[in-house]
Amino acid sequence: MGLAKAVEYALNIGLDRIWQRISYLANCLRQELQKIDGVIIQDLGNNLCGIVTFTVNGIDSQLVKDYLWQNQINVSVGRAESTLLYMNKYNLNNVIRASVHYYNTEEEIIRFKDVLHHLR
């Protein structure tokens, strides 16, 4: 029943509107993260999704995740064994994965950037 309500809700909003909002917010997050020295956006391709992957020079991704978690920001760590070809190609052991959704706000993105900036 919950899934049916979620589908109904999404269809009422409109899948195109949801996708546009997610794309916009993910782009905003990428732009904000690029302003922080040592943060490297790892997303490639012409059609980027709402998952923003990045690394922080000199800081293990798990430590970044833990620091963000302590500041009420939830991200995950993508490990090499999950995407072995990509990680090997770009010589990565892990990345931080931040996911935006249509209900997130620009203010949350700025806060994300500010908190991460303090870690640097």
Instruction: Please give the residue range of the domain that contains residue 115.
Output: 2-119
The CATH number of the domain holding residue 85 is 3.90.1150.10
Phi, psi of 109 (to 5 degrees): -65, -45
Considering its fold, how many domains does the chain have in total?
1
Answer left, alpha or beta for residue 42, where phi above 0 means left and psi between -120 and 50 means alpha. Answer: alpha
Are 82 and 94 within 8 A, CB to CB? no
Show Cβ contacts of residue 101 under 8 Å, excluding neighbours closer than 6 positions.
Answer: 22, 25, 50
The sign of the CA dihedral 98, 102, 108, 113 is positive
Residues in the chain with pLDDT < 70? Answer: none
pLDDT of residue 114: 97
pLDDT of residue 44: 85
